[in-house]
């Protein structure tokens, strides 16, 4: 497994949300590049995908674009998928496309089923240092993470009759 044990809590950011959808559907929204580009990211930023190879060993290279603090912005992103366990877990390295990005972090997304059939999604980020974790919290990582999961909830609720088929 690629998640450190124990996970160092002084370097992590955690965002959790309960979805009124089966975990297969919530997981599939992460594995469909067209869906992912529609809901991923904080409010006010759109996704421009440059490469989407959403499989273990693959990567998603994309930009978040929009107006941030009153100015047009483009944030370059790269996720490298390290582990994918269908309907259970996705583990990735996340940062910029720069191979020597010092702020790259590990992200783990887990999908757990509640007794009522709802899905608990837990998004955990492990940053390279406590100082970096504090910096990302300071610029809004928790709020932006929650906005991202709220966007996923809206996307899932848009048309409950359409199930996203998982490619795995």
Q: How many residues does the chain have?
A: 168
Render the burial of 79-116: b for 16+ CB within 10 Å, e for the rest. Answer: bbbbebeebebbbbbbbeeeeeeeebbbbbbbbeeeee
- The CATH superfamily of 12-158 is START domain (3.30.530.20)
Phi, psi dihedrals of residue 34, rounded to the nearest 5°? -65, -45
- Residue from 78, 54, 49, 80 nearest 65 by CA: 49
Q: Where are the domains of the chain?
A: 12-158
> pTM of the prediction?
0.87
pLDDT tens for the chain, 168 residues long, are 355 556 678 999 999 999 999 999 999 999 999 999 999 999 999 999 999 999 999 999 999 999 877 889 999 999 999 999 999 999 999 999 999 999 999 999 999 999 899 999 999 999 999 999 999 999 899 999 999 999 999 999 986 645 544 444
């Amino acid at each position: 497994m690629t998640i450190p044990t124990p996970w160092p809590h002084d370097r992590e950011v955690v965002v959790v949300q309960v979805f009124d959808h089966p975990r297969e559907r919530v997981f599939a929204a992460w594995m469909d590049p067209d869906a992912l580009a529609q809901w991923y990211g904080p409010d006010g930023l759109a996704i421009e995908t440059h490469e989407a190879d959403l499989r273990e060993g693959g990567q998603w290279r994309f930009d978040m674009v929009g107006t941030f603090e009153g100015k047009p912005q483009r944030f370059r992103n790269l996720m490298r998928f390290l582990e994918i366990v269908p309907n259970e877990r996705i583990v990735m390295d996340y940062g910029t496309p720069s191979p020597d990005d010092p702020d790259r972090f590990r992200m783990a997304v887990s999908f757990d089923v509640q007794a009522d059939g709802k899905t608990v999604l837990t998004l955990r980020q492990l940053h390279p240092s406590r100082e970096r974790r504090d910096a990302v919290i300071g610029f809004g990582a928790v709020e932006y993470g929650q906005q991202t999961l709220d966007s996923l909830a809206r996307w899932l609720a848009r048309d409950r009759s359409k199930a996203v088929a998982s490619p795995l």
